[in-house]
Structure 1
Amino acid sequence: MSNKNIPWKNGIKDGIPIALGYFAVSFTFGIVAKKAGLTPFQAVFMSGANLTSAGQFGALALIGTSATYLEMALTQLVINLRYCLMSCSLSQKFEAGAGWPHRFPVAFGVTDEIFGVSVCKKGKLNPFYNYGLMSVSIPGWMLGTFCGAVSGGLLPARIISALSVALYGMFIAVIVPPAKGNKLLTGIIGSSMLLSLLFAQLPILSEISQGFKIIILTVLIAGMAALLFPVKEEAAHER
Structure 2
Amino acid sequence: MNDQKELFRTGLKDSVAIVAGFIPACFTFGLVGKGLGLGSLEVFLLSALVFAGASQFIGIKMLAAGAAAPVILLLTLIINLRYLFISLSFGGQLNRNISYLARTWIGFSLTEEVYAVSMLTREKANPKSVNEKSNQPLELPYLLGLQIPPYVANLLATASGITLASYIPAFYLPALNTSLYALLIALVVPQLKGSLRNMAICISAAGSSWLLHPLLGNSSILVAMIIGMAVGSLFRVRVQAEKGVSL
Aligned CA distance change for structure 1 residues 184 and 86 (closer, same or farther; 3 Å): closer
Q: Which amino acid aligns with 1:165?
A: P
Please tell me whether the aligned partners of residues 204 and 227 of structure 2 are also in contact (alpha carbons under 8 angstroms): no
State the SS of the aligned residue for 2:235.
coil
Cα separation, 1, equivalents of 2:171 and 2:72: 28
Counterpart for residue 108 of structure 2:
108
Choose from 127, 146, 149 the match for 1:133: 146
1:161 aligns with 2:180: no
User: Aligned-pair distance for 1:102?
Assistant: 2.1
* AA matched with 1:138: Y
Which stretches in structure 1 are left out of the alignment for 5+ residues?
Answer: 196-215
Q: What secondary structure sits across from 1:131 in the alignment?
A: helix
Choose 229-238 or 131-140, whichever is displaced more: 229-238
Q: Secondary structure at the match of 1:51?
A: coil
Question: Which whole-Å CA distance do the structure 2 matches of 1:94 and 1:61 have between them?
Answer: 36
- Distance in 1 separating the partners of 2:212 and 2:95: 42
Match for residue 160 of structure 2?
147
Give the conservation status (yes or no) of the 8 Å contact 2:47–2:56: yes
TM-score by length of 1: 0.75
- How many residue pairs were aligned? 212
In 2, the alpha carbon distance for the partners of 1:106 and 1:221 equals: 24
SS at match of 2:167: coil
Cα shift readout 1:35-65 (whole Å, capped 9, x = no counterpart): 1122333322211111121110111221132
Q: CA 1:154–1:131 in structure 2 vs 1: closer, same or farther (change >3 Å)? A: same
> In the aligned structure 2, how far is the partner of 1:101 from the partner of 1:77?
23
Any residues of structure 2 matched to 1:161-180 within 5 Å, and which?
Answer: 161-166=170-175, 169=178
CA RMSD of aligned residues (A): 3.1
Instruction: Trace 1:3-152 onto structure 2 (pairs within 5 A).
Output: 3-120=3-120, 121-122=122-123, 123-152=136-165
Percent sequence identity over aligned pairs: 23
How far apart are residue 237 of structure 1 and its match?
A: 4.3
Deviation at 1:219, TM superposition (A): 4.0
Distance in 1, Cα, partners of 2:103 & 2:151: 17
Query: 1:6, 1:225 → 2: CA distance?
Result: 35
Which residue does 1:189 correspond to in 2?
210
SS of equivalent residue, structure 1 residue 138: helix
